[in-house]
Structure 1
Amino acid sequence: MRDPEYTNYAPNRVPGMTPEEVITVTARNVPCDGGGGTLGHPRVWLHIEGEEITCPYCSRTYHLAPGAGDDGHH
């Protein structure tokens, strides 16, 4: 059975369990590679539907900056 704390393929942030690293971004689609190098993970693209998303590999949380997120332009 799927964990109820998961949305699509990325978990929600859980206070006290998820690392406190929060990265503020200005776009709804963000890449994450865990910091790259040998300690990283495969690059995945995360889509922020609400205000934030947490990487399922490294648990970094990406928070959408206030007023940002209109990715309708090219």
Structure 2
Amino acid sequence: MRDPDFTGYTPNRVPGVTAEDVITVTSRHVPCDGGGGALGHPLIWLRIEGAEITCPYCSRTYHLAPGAGDDEHH
């Protein structure tokens, strides 16, 4: 049985559990490599469906800026 706080392979932010590392972005497609260079994780691309997405590797959360994200043409 899947944890109800997870959707597919992309976890939702859980207050008190997920790191509070929230980055505001202006695109629905965001890259994440953990930000630690050699200490990070493999580069992955995340797609924001709603207002935010949390990286399944490092728990960094990307929040879509208000009025941004109209990049559906790709």
Q: TM-score when scaled to structure 2?
A: 0.92
Measured after TM superposition, the shift of residue 7 of structure 1 is: 1.4
Taking the aligned partners of 2:23 and 2:65, their CA distance within structure 1 comes to 9
Measured after TM superposition, the shift of residue 59 of structure 1 is: 0.2
Task: Give 3-state SS (helix, strand or coil) of 2:17's partner.
Answer: coil
- Could you say which residue in structure 1 is the equivalent of 2:40? 40
Measured after TM superposition, the shift of residue 73 of structure 1 is: 4.7
Q: Which consecutive aligned stretches of 4+ in structure 1 deviate over 4 angstroms post-superposition? A: none
Q: One-letter code of the match for 2:7?
A: T
- Could you say which residue in structure 2 is the equivalent of 1:13? 13
- Could you say which residue in structure 1 is the equivalent of 2:67? 67
Q: One-letter code of the match for 1:33?
A: D
Q: TM-score when scaled to structure 1?
A: 0.92
Percent identity over the alignment? 80
Q: More deviation in 26-35 or 4-13?
A: 4-13
Gaps of 5+ in 1: none
Aligned-CA RMSD value: 1.3
| 1:16-35 → structure 2 map (5 Å cutoff) | 16-35=16-35
Q: One-letter code of the match for 2:37?
A: G
Taking the aligned partners of 2:46 and 2:37, their CA distance within structure 1 comes to 19
